[in-house]
Amino acid sequence: MFHKIAKLSFWLVAALFISLCPIAFQAQETAAPAKTTAKPMHPAITVTGCLQKGESADEFAITGKNGKTWELRSGTVKLAEHVGHTVTITGARHHETKAEEAKEQKTETKENKEAEAKEAGDLRVTSLKMVSDSCKK
């Protein structure tokens, strides 16, 4: 009789252990704080000026009222349709990777380096509003 009780309790303990393991593992997973790896969003920058063609096919430039020039790129806004127009551009600042900077430095001339001193940075354009269909100086 004692043998039957010992055998039964052995199996009950094993069954109880197996059935409670998933609950213990789930409790450990939910207790850990979730880490977010999202980068902070850059504030939107708005520049009004004359839209000009840039150095490459998909690159454009705008000079704001403060005299600073922004290099512009966009996959969603059609900038080519507004070259030569006075526009208001809204976008997020884009920082080049070290590889992009090294590639750009190899191809730059002395005149480009002087122009780069006036460059405010790169913008990824999110919206465009046409102010005038011509650029007034």
What single letter denotes the amino acid at residue 68? Answer: K
pLDDT digits (tens, 9 = 90+) for 94-121: 776 666 556 655 555 544 555 555 677 8
How far apart, in whole angstroms, are the C-alpha atoms of residue 72 and residue 124?
6
44 near 94, Cβ under 8 Å? no
**Checking DSSP bridges between strand 69-73 and strand 86-94, what pairing results, if any?**
unpaired
How far apart, in whole angstroms, are the C-alpha atoms of residue 19 and residue 38?
37
- The token pair at 47 is 């520049």
Q: Domain 44-132: give its CATH superfamily.
A: NigD-like N-terminal OB domain (2.40.50.500)
pLDDT of residue 13: 82
SS3 content of the chain, % helix, strand, coil (to 5): 35, 30, 30
pLDDT digits (tens, 9 = 90+) for 35-62: 555 555 668 889 898 888 887 778 888 8
62 near 50, Cβ under 8 Å? yes
Task: Report in angstroms the alpha-carbon separations of 104 from 70, 96, 108, 116.
Answer: 16, 10, 6, 11
Give the whole-number percent of the chain exceeding pLDDT 70: 71
pTM value surpassing 0.85: no
